[in-house]
Structures are given as C-alpha cells and as structure tokens.
Amino acid sequence: MLMLVVWITAAVLSLVVLGVLAHGLLGAFQRLGRELEAAEREVRPFLEQAQATAARAAALQAGERQADGG
C-alpha cells in the first residue's frame, strides 16, 4: 500500500514539474513573439528607406545605360 502511495505521489509530482516547464516555455515563446514584433516595427522605416534607395539607384543605373547606349 505504501508503494502505491509513493508511485502516485511521484507521478503527480512529475506532472506538476512538466506543467511548470510547459507554462514557462509557452510564456517564453509569447515574449519572443512580442519582442520580434517590436523589433520589426522599429526596423520597418529603415527597411523601407533602403528599398526606396535601392529602387532609385536601379532607376539611375538604367537611365545611365540608356544614355550610354543611345
């Protein structure tokens, strides 16, 4: 009878530990998602500016090629 109580206690304790670990892991993933969204919001203006600059540079290069070739 005592061994049954020990096994049940061990099983319950292991489930509690696994639950705590899962809760912590899910919380960490949620925090990571929020951090990534915040980083994306901060970087977006720089990304848009870099894309606009690259498009303008490509347009200027295309214009120079037409001027040189024509």
Please give the model's pTM, rounded to 2 decimal places.
0.58
Tokens of 5: 């109580």
The dihedral formed by the CA atoms of 51, 54, 56 and 62, expressed in degrees to the nearest 10 = -140
Residue 63 is predicted with a pLDDT of 83
Residue identified by tokens 């049940």 is 8
Residue 70 is predicted with a pLDDT of 56
Residue 19 is predicted with a pLDDT of 98
Residue 40 is predicted with a pLDDT of 95
Mean pLDDT by 10 residues, the chain (70 residues): 96 98 98 96 96 94 78
Tell me which residue of 62, 42, 66, 44 sits closest to 54, measured CA to CA: 62
